[in-house]
């Protein structure tokens, strides 16, 4: 049974007429072409897509919808299809362009099929204008190309399908040189053999994550040199195909900084231990001398001022020893658990005042502001400063 192409199907039509009504309302362009290339039917979507009316298209060669530079070649493609009229995608693997009535060209996708009509086989083409999608793809490509980190996209087989300029430059390849190559070409030779198994494990449970978490990763430059990298993996699925987008960052500079910092910390710790030993000895000697002097003095000679000076000297020795302990603790920072201590600002101020030669007329007091600070962290009158003053700030306040 052959299919008729009525201009318009009546409401409630059935059979061929009903099918024609459905085709006419389809959101994609539908085109029926005879073996000699004549257009036998076009729907409204195709009229709107190309800017022609049905009267202008019916009976004309289908090549009028193509750019002038490919019309001759299309004759061969048409004959090839009619020799084996099987459903397929036209132009698979390459971009297809059509020509509008105003002369401009636009990208399209075409699905081909066949159908009988008046004792002959006709081709049925389903045409989609993919200009909006191409525009988004081009914008995405521009964004990817301008990113300062290396990006590559690979399929389930591990073959690289896309790289950006940053990745090409990072590994020393020219643009497009990595396309089609396995991702293992970017790895050191000694780890390439085991990488396919890791790829397979990721494919079974794809998720956004950092690659090689907890261990150092190395990549291989085209010249054979190796460098440390960080890799972020993102699974994607486009048109039924599973892809992986990898973001690769060269962390060589950061590693150098980390090594330099580790060396500086080791030197600081060594210096601190040596300095603490050299400082403790004279402090202990001074403490012993003060103790001996105090023992040698007759109790009747220990006036209140002398006793107060002995106490102040002992307190300053103890404070100096605490400073040495703090210095050692600072050198060990990062290698011990953090802890939170309650600080008495008043005690800090009193200890600081004892280190300075403050005039007797100088006085200070707290000015409490409830709700602003914890009970043991009050705000004082010294220029609204939190009461953790330095000797310089107290001296300035004393002179004010």
Cα→Cα distances 300→290, 292, 296, 309, Å:
17, 16, 12, 16
- The confidence score (pLDDT) of residue 45 equals 95
Report angle CA 119, 125, 126 to the nearest 5 degrees: 140
Q: Check residues 196 and 398 and name the one with the higher pLDDT.
A: 196
Does the pLDDT value for residue 4 go beyond 80?
Answer: no
Backbone angles phi, psi at 201, to 5 degrees: -65, -40
User: Within 10 A of 164 (CB to CB), how many other CB atoms are there?
Assistant: 22
Specify whether the CB–CB gap between 61 and 37 falls below 8 A: yes
Specify whether the CB–CB gap between 144 and 234 falls below 8 A: no
- The confidence score (pLDDT) of residue 178 equals 95
CA distance 168 to 171: 5
Task: Give me the mean pLDDT over the 382-393 stretch.
Answer: 40
Comparing 45-54, 110-119, 167-176, 231-240, the range with the smallest average pLDDT is 231-240
**Residue 399 — very low, low, confident or very high, per pLDDT cuts 50/70/90?**
very low
The per-residue pLDDT for range 294-313, each reduced to its tens digit, is 888 888 877 888 888 888 88
Does the pLDDT value for residue 400 go beyond 50?
Answer: no
Report angle CA 240, 89, 153 to the nearest 5 degrees: 40
> Can you point out the beta strands (E) in the chain?
29-33, 39-42, 88-90, 96-99, 105-117, 120-129, 150-155, 160-163, 209-210, 217-220, 226-238, 241-250
Q: Check residues 276 and 48 and name the one with the higher pLDDT.
A: 48
Task: Give me the mean pLDDT over the 269-286 stretch.
Answer: 81
Task: Give me the mean pLDDT over the 262-280 stretch.
Answer: 80
- The confidence score (pLDDT) of residue 28 equals 93
Does the pLDDT value for residue 205 go beyond 70?
Answer: yes
- The confidence score (pLDDT) of residue 154 equals 93
Give me the residue label for tokens 């389930």: 156
Here the tokens at position 228 are: 């440390």
The per-residue pLDDT for range 137-189, each reduced to its tens digit, is 888 888 888 888 999 999 989 999 999 999 999 999 999 999 999 999 999 99
- The confidence score (pLDDT) of residue 386 equals 36
The per-residue pLDDT for range 27-79, each reduced to its tens digit, is 999 999 999 999 999 999 999 999 999 999 999 999 999 999 999 999 999 99
The per-residue pLDDT for range 327-373, each reduced to its tens digit, is 777 777 666 566 677 878 878 777 777 777 677 777 766 565 554 44
Its pTM stands at 0.51
**Most confident residue range from 243-257, 310-324, 333-347, 382-396:** 243-257
Q: Check residues 12 and 291 and name the one with the higher pLDDT.
A: 291
Here the tokens at position 193 are: 């053999």
Does the pLDDT value for residue 239 go beyond 80?
Answer: no
């Amino acid at each position: 049974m052959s299919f008729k192409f009525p201009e318009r199907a009546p409401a409630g039509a059935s059979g061929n007429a009903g099918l024609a009504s459905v085709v006419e309302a389809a959101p994609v362009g539908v085109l029926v072409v005879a073996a000699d290339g004549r257009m036998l039917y076009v729907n409204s979507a195709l009229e709107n897509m190309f800017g022609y009316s049905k009267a202008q298209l019916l009976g004309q060669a289908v090549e009028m919808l193509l750019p002038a530079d490919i019309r001759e070649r299309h004759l061969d493609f048409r004959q090839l299809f009619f020799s084996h009229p099987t459903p397929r995608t036209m132009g698979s693997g390459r971009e297809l362009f059509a020509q509008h009535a105003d002369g401009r060209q636009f990208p399209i996708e075409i699905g081909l099929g066949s159908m009988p009509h008046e004792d002959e086989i006709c081709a049925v083409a389903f045409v989609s204008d993919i200009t909006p999608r191409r525009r988004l793809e081009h914008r995405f490509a521009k964004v990817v190309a301008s990113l300062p980190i290396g990006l590559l996209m690979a399929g389930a087989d591990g073959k690289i399908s896309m790289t950006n300029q940053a990745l090409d430059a990072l590994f020393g390849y020219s643009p497009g040189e990595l396309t089609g190559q396995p991702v293992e070409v970017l790895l050191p030779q000694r780890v390439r053999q085991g990488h396919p198994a890791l790829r397979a494990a990721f494919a079974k449970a794809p998720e956004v994550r950092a690659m090689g978490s907890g261990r150092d990763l190395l990549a291989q430059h085209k010249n054979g040199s190796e460098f440390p990298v960080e890799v972020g993996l993102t699974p994607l699925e486009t048109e039924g195909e599973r892809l992986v987008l990898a973001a690769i960052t060269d962390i060589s500079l950061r590693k150098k900084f980390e090594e330099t910092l580790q060396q500086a910390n080791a030197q600081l710790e060594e210096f601190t231990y040596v300095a603490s030993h050299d400082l403790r000895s004279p402090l202990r000697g001074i403490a012993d001398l003060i103790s001996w002097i105090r023992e040698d003095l007759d109790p009747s000679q220990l006036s209140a001022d002398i006793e107060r000076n002995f106490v102040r000297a002992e307190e300053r020795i103890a404070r100096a020893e605490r400073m040495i302990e703090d210095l050692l603790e600072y050198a060990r920072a990062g290698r011990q658990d953090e802890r939170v201590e309650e600080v008495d600002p008043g005690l800090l101020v009193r200890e600081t005042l004892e280190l300075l030669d403050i005039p007797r007329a100088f006085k200070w007091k707290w000015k409490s502001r409830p709700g602003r600070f914890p009970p043991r962290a009050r705000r004082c009158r010294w220029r609204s400063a939190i009461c953790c003053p330095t000797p310089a700030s107290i001296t300035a306040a004393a002179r004010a």
